[in-house]
Amino acid sequence: MKISTKGDYGVRALIELALHEGEGPVQRADIAHRRQIPESYLDHLLAQLRRDGFIRSTRGPGGGHELARPPAEICLLHVLESLEGSLAPLGCLSDDPADDAHDPLCGQQWVWREIFDEMRRRLAAISLADLTERERERERAERVMAAAPHYKI
């Protein structure tokens, strides 16, 4: 499985919104700047995340974007499937009927099915709240390192 820029940037944007949960809408420019996402690309991601019910948007002064549900109720699997489509490593494992063309040639399907099912189980167990907590830990460690004295000999 390889996650595209779309999946990466979409998850980054959701983490940014989760970090500011309860503070009101976050403007697109702030999300783009803090998460290093090109604004024009972010527009498309935010539209898709809104269509799929992950975020809600408010227009006008004081407007912006915020999560539609608590971070603990948003799992990484659903976000990635929304942004990436099927995560199946082989067409015969996909839920998309257009991918069934390879089914007769899929003799090793059982091994890929086990791997795919385990991957989906693990991604479903990771919530946006989990990702946000890891991001907070990373930011704290970064601040500690920046504040530590640096000696040169």
As a whole-number percent, the residues of the chain with pLDDT over 70 amount to 89
Query: Does 9 map to a domain?
Result: yes
Mean pLDDT of the 100-120 span: 75
Residue 85 is given by DSSP the state: S
Query: Does 23 map to a domain?
Result: yes
| CATH code assigned at 36 | 1.10.10.10
The separation between CA 6 and the C-alpha centre of its own chain, rounded to angstroms, equals: 9
Q: What single-letter amino acid sits at 41?
A: Y
Cβ atoms within 10 Å, residue 115: 13
Cβ atoms within 10 Å, residue 41: 15
The tokens describing 82, both together, are 């929304």
Query: Does 101 map to a domain?
Result: no
Which pLDDT value is given to residue 98?
Answer: 55
Query: Does 121 map to a domain?
Result: no
Q: How many domains does the chain have?
A: 1
Whether 106 shows a pLDDT value over 80: the answer reads: no
**Contact indicator for 57, 65 with CB cutoff of 8 Å:** yes
SS3 70: coil
Q: What is the pLDDT of residues 38-72, one digit of tens each?
A: 999 999 999 999 999 999 999 998 899 999 999 99
Whether 101 shows a pLDDT value over 60: the answer reads: no
pTM of the predicted model as reported, rounded to 2 decimal places: 0.84
Query: Does 149 map to a domain?
Result: no
For residue 64, which phi and psi values (nearest 5 degrees)? Answer: 155, -150
Q: Which residues of 17-36 are buried (b: 16+ CB within 10 A; e: fewer)?
A: bbbbeeeebbebeebbeebe
The tokens describing 19, both together, are 């970090």
How does residue 111 score in pLDDT terms, banded at 50, 70 and 90?
confident
Query: Does 3 map to a domain?
Result: yes
Query: Does 10 map to a domain?
Result: yes
Terminal alpha carbon distance of the chain = 46
**Rounded-to-integer distance, Cα 58 and Cα 80, Å:** 24
Query: Does 108 map to a domain?
Result: no
Of residues 89 and 103, the one with the higher pLDDT is 89
Whether 145 shows a pLDDT value over 80: the answer reads: yes
Domain that holds residue 1: 1-70
Number of H helices, E strands in the chain: 6, 2
Which pLDDT value is given to residue 80?
Answer: 97
How does residue 151 score in pLDDT terms, banded at 50, 70 and 90?
confident
